Chains A and B, each alone.
Chain A
Amino acid sequence: MAGLAGEAGSGVSQVVLETRMLTRRFGGLMAVDGVDLAIHDGELRALIGPNGAGKTTCINLLSGLLPPSGGEIRWQGTDVTQWSAARRARAGIARTMQVTSVFPNLTVYENVWLSAQRPLGRPSAVRARDAIPAVGERAHECLELAGIGGRANEPAGSIGHGDQRLLEIAIALALRPRLLLLDEPTAGMSVVESWEIVRRLREIRARDRLTVVIVEHDMEIVMELAERITVLHLGQTLAEGTPDEIARNAEVQRVYLGGR
């Protein structure tokens, strides 16, 4: 883990996701105010900060759910600022939502199937779904990776909250993304479930060398998982560095970690 962080810091691996002066205004509120990010290939970056710091808005800008008021987003060297969320997903940017977002009336398997189908191109109107085994295999593989293979045939709306969060991760993985944006993946979960997610994320990363940007409140999890941390405060970057550097940073201590 430390080795990877060093690699990212030394600039050996490529920057895959870059923002310049990324800005989002809601009326008079600057939710994100001129944020510059440079995230390296294979890095796990955590975005932390107090409530209202602009973390979720940042993720919404990166995934294309919100258009920025200003600035630029570059993904693998291409300016994607004007791209729709769907186009960014097709280009390899997958995300989970802070409030779980699945297809409640479809089965768990169908939820992941749809996502696994997407990289293969436009969905056919005439072929039977059962006649495309590659998609089904990928869907089952992702369900196993997320640890909810046993739930495949249940309606997604009927499984527990923790399982729905895992399902969202499976949906994101089935897209074969290069970048995974996780917005508080452990929100509303018990301690045991949270660490189960951490374990799964580690496994998945070890397998696919995914680049991950994670928003997380639990500092123990952040310190455990992240290779680099960006601290946001009032929409601006307060500090950036390795977990050790952030833990020692006096300014961060004052506005965010101080209370702990």
Chain B
Amino acid sequence: MSSPRAPGPALAAGILVVAALIALPLGLSRFGRFFGAEIFTWALYAMGFNVCFGMAGMLSFGHAAFFAFGAYGATSAVLYLARDPWLALVAAVAAAAALAALVGFFAVRVVSHSFVIITITVSLVLLLLAHSQKEITGGDDGIVFPPLTLFGAHGPSLATPLVGYYTALVFMLAGYLALRQLWRSPLGLVLLALRDNERRAMLIGYEVRHYKWLAFVLSGAVAGLAGGVYAITHAQVNAQLFDVTVSVDAVIWTLIGGAGSVLGPAVGAAFVLAFTHIVSGWIVYTQIPVGILLILIVLFFPRGLAGVWRAWPARRGAA
């Protein structure tokens, strides 16, 4: 990371990918556009999760709570404050960050297994509450609200597949750029250092709990933003967003895509969602092939798909 980068080819590849993603909906069905929006939203969520896991080295099994708090925060803003998508997203980030600040205060005081258990426990308690407090959360049926519109009351609806696609794309790209900057910043290096050796970080003057807490809150805030994007592009939320599978998905996507980079978890989310969609045509229990895929990747590509991708241009450059 200290060696100067050659931004040329990477930048060109990035622009090509973004251009392709912008043009893609023209060739997609309604479902394809909807599915694209899903992928971008969950990719943003997975990248947020990885601030906690891949950077700071804290394995959280409770990130569904932050996604769901973001989604419900956005919905509450729409229902009780104003029908403004920006306000909804601010509320989403604020709700998730507040929850992460509270949970993180306790979670960063313990390590490894205990940390995992705290995050699972909080997530399970909130799941049970979400299902029991139907008058607040709407339970499994959820809360449906009239779709928000862009550019005034008569503008395009955010809940149509095409607008949803571009909305989710914009926030995923913004999230990616912000997290990439974090990864390259001094703070980013401090977080990576915590993953490696907390004691050494402490001995050079970094208060370990403070920075772990900061990573946890940042991670929760990005997951909450993804939840907010989900809410405004679906115009509905439900208690299933609190489900443990949502937390586990973040871990699986990140392991498959690669925890060692910003983009890895996003690639993993896109890959697994597409893979699941394809195999669901043949098999009901899609978790089985995804599980096999996870085992194969962890065994043969421990750095995930992004690790494979990163190694490839280097080999080509050497040839």
Task: Mark A residues whose CB is within 8 Å of B.
Answer: 63, 65, 84-87, 89-90, 94-95, 97, 101-107, 109-110, 113-115, 117-119, 123-130, 132, 135-136, 152-153, 171, 174-175
Contacts and interface: CB of A to CB of B under 8 A. Distances in A.
B6 to A, nearest CB: 14
A151 to B, nearest CB: 12
B200 interface: yes
A167 to B, nearest CB: 11
B205 A175 contact: yes
Contacts of A102: 197, 200
A103 B203 CA distance: 12
Contact of B2 (A94, A101, A110): A110
Nearest to B211: A123
Interface stretch (B89-97, B99-107, B187-195, B279-287): B187-195
Contact of A114 (B184, B185, B189): B189
Contacts, number: 110
A143 B20 CA distance: 45
Given A103-B200, A115-B204, A123 B185 contact: yes
A86 B208 contact: yes
Contacts of B186: 117, 123-125, 127, 129, 132, 135
22 contacts: A87-B207, A89-B203, A89-B204, A101-B197, A101-B199, A104-B196, A109-B2, A110-B1, A114-B189, A117-B186, A118-B204, A123-B186, A123-B190, A125-B182, A125-B186, A125-B187, A125-B188, A126-B185, A127-B185, A129-B186, A171-B204, A174-B204
B196 A103 contact: yes
B181 interface: yes
Contacts of A153: 2-3
Nearest to A109: B2
B206 interface: yes
Nearest to B197: A103
B206 A86 contact: yes
B82 interface: no
Contacts of A113: 2, 189
B202 interface: yes
A95 B200 CA distance: 10
B203 A85 contact: yes
A141 to B, nearest CB: 14
A2 B201 CA distance: 37
A104 B197 contact: yes
B203 A95 contact: yes
A125 B185 CA distance: 5
Interface in B152-202: 181-182, 184-190, 192-193, 195-197, 199-202
A114 B197 contact: no
Contacts of A110: 1-2, 189
Contact of A105 (B181, B184, B196): B196
Nearest to B210: A86
A113 B195 CA distance: 16
A38 to B, nearest CB: 24
B207 A118 contact: no
Contacts of A117: 186, 189
B58 to A, nearest CB: 16
Contacts of B205: 86-87, 89-90, 115, 118-119, 175
B41 to A, nearest CB: 24
Given A86-B207, A126-B182, 11 more contacts: A85-B203, A94-B203, A95-B203, A103-B197, A105-B192, A123-B185, A126-B181, A126-B185, A129-B188, A174-B204, A175-B205
A45 B203 CA distance: 21
A109 B4 CA distance: 13
B263 to A, nearest CB: 18
A105 B185 contact: no
A202 B201 CA distance: 26
Contacts of B195: 105
Contacts of A105: 192, 195-196
